Amino acid sequence: RSTQGVSSAASDVYKRQVVTQIQVATGEGHGSSVEKAMTPKMAHTLFTEAFNAKNAEQLCALFAEDAVAVNPRREGRAAICESMKAFLETADNLTIKTGYAVQSGDHALLRSIYSYESTAEDGSLSVTKGSGIELVERQPDGSWLYILDHPHGAEDSAIEAQ
């Protein structure tokens, strides 16, 4: 089945359905609640869904074992997961728009334009907006994982902080 001429979002939905059908047919993924990003842009979609569902397992599964995140710098999936779990407790309603996804071979550079809400101890609500840069890498099974995550990488403040 060709996805030519189909919108990117529709193509991602189709790919998700195919992956699910393959997993059911082969028995893979039985008992697992994590979904794999089958396109670079799908990494943003799954990140948003996992974040808003407070699904730390899914969120952590989107990062490569040796991934690096900055602000603050964290190296390795375990360190990134600990930081993400803490962040999940304080923030809600994440939205991510993919500004671009530029692929070269097994790597893709993504730009995220995001916002999320957080509630202060006094109950006041604040909205944080930003623009990040992420690098994802295609895995042997065809899925994509984050290998670099810079949540402020596309902002002027990231350049000024160098």
Tell me the sheet residues that pair with 145: 137
pLDDT digits (tens, 9 = 90+) for 94-146: 999 999 999 999 999 999 999 999 988 898 999 999 999 999 999 999 999 99
Q: Alpha-carbon distance 77 to 147, whole Å? A: 9
* pLDDT above 90 for 160: no
pLDDT digits (tens, 9 = 90+) for 23-61: 433 344 444 579 999 999 999 999 999 999 999 999 999
Q: How many residues does the chain have?
A: 162
Has this prediction a pTM greater than 0.75? yes
pLDDT digits (tens, 9 = 90+) for 74-84: 999 999 999 99
72 preceded by cis ω (within 30°)? yes
